[in-house]
Amino acid sequence: MEDARRCRCVSLLIVLTILIGLSVAFDTTLSQAQLDRLRKSQSLTTTPAPQTPMVEIPAGHFTMGSDGTQALEDERPSHRVWLDAYSIDLHEVTTGQYAAFIAAVKRSPPWKWETVNLAQHGDRPVIGVDWGDADAYCTWTGKRLPTEAEWEKAARGTDARLYPWGSQTPTSELANFALGARFSYNQVLLPVRSHEAGKSPYGLYHMAGNAYEWVQDWYGTNYYEISPEKNPPGPSQGQFRVLRGGSWSDLPKYLLTYGRFKLPPETKNSYTGFRCAK
């Protein structure tokens, strides 16, 4: 008797399975609610990290720092540096790309994130990230932050130019800068692929203005006096991390390709973003 009941149950299960299969075969349209549930059921950590186009910087020497009248003490002396070939992001990491990172790894959002409208600001540089955030994002994408030397060569090329576009004083056609101190995504940040005329010798966008960019190095005031000629990594430790490039708020003198800036690595503000390298 027990065997008969078990047999009938198995038969019923087979019939139900066939019916379900037939219904799927003849009706492949899923409702929006079903699609949403399906997406949520899948692990976000398996979502491929968004990839920014990269530009390859060839191996060779370039001039780092400056002995000019505008150069500060920590930007001296001008010195020759050799870098192996590397690649660096064409543009700054965007809010849209960083949103994918937040969702995938469940990281706390940046400062001012509540004011982000991805439909409007998804192509603007992410700001409000500290050095650890920037480092973690680059690692997630299989990259790293550029060294200070790599950043400077990508910005100025091999002819020791003052600005990414050359020697011309910055204008609104060349860079996004000098917009005061009041922050608003709509009013002060521009799409990461804007200012075509202001690109660096290697074609990189916004190596001056828009957002400061964290780099890999610890800051050292006199590091240029002792740094190695080949692939300088920066000091082994420090109190501050280096930023490069100036921001939407800065005056022209802060947009110089050799300009150095420093902040505690845990700093989050409306001026600072990043790009990655490898």
Which pLDDT value is given to residue 47?
A: 60
Encoded amino acid at 152, one letter: E
Which pLDDT value is given to residue 26?
A: 29
pLDDT digits (tens, 9 = 90+) for 134-172: 999 999 999 999 999 999 999 999 999 999 999 999 999
| pLDDT at residue 9 is higher than 50 | no
pLDDT digits (tens, 9 = 90+) for 223-236: 999 999 999 999 99
pLDDT-derived band at 16, boundaries 50, 70, 90: very low
**DSSP assignment, residue 110?**
P
d(CA 175, CA 186): 17
pLDDT digits (tens, 9 = 90+) for 98-140: 999 999 999 999 999 999 999 999 999 999 999 999 999 999 9
> 10 Å Cβ neighbour count for 238?
16
229-237's contacts with Cβ under 8 Å and 24+ in sequence apart are 229/79, 229/80, 229/81, 229/82, 230/81, 230/82, 230/83, 231/82, 231/83, 231/84, 231/147, 231/149, 232/81, 232/147, 232/148, 232/149, 233/147, 234/147, 234/148
pLDDT-derived band at 15, boundaries 50, 70, 90: very low
Task: Determine the average pLDDT of the residues in 250-265.
Answer: 97
Of the candidates 151, 127, 132, the one whose C-alpha atom is nearest the C-alpha of residue 57 is 151
Sequence-distant (≥ 6) Cβ neighbours of residue 38 within 8 angstroms: 30
Sequence-distant (≥ 6) Cβ neighbours of residue 230 within 8 angstroms: 81, 82, 83
Which pLDDT value is given to residue 50?
A: 85
Phi-psi map region of 106: left, alpha, beta (phi>0 left; psi -120 to 50 alpha) = left
Task: Determine the average pLDDT of the residues in 78-87.
Answer: 98
pTM: 0.83
Q: Report the percentage of the chain scoring pLDDT > 70.
A: 83
Task: Determine the average pLDDT of the residues in 37-47.
Answer: 41
Find the range with the poorest average confidence among 26-30, 199-203, 206-210, 269-273.
26-30
Superfamily of domain 53-273: paralog of FGE (formylglycine-generating enzyme) (3.90.1580.10)
Sequence-distant (≥ 6) Cβ neighbours of residue 226 within 8 angstroms: none
Q: How many CA atoms lie within 13 A of 129 on its CB side?
A: 30
Of the candidates 164, 276, 271, 161, the one whose C-alpha atom is nearest the C-alpha of residue 215 is 276
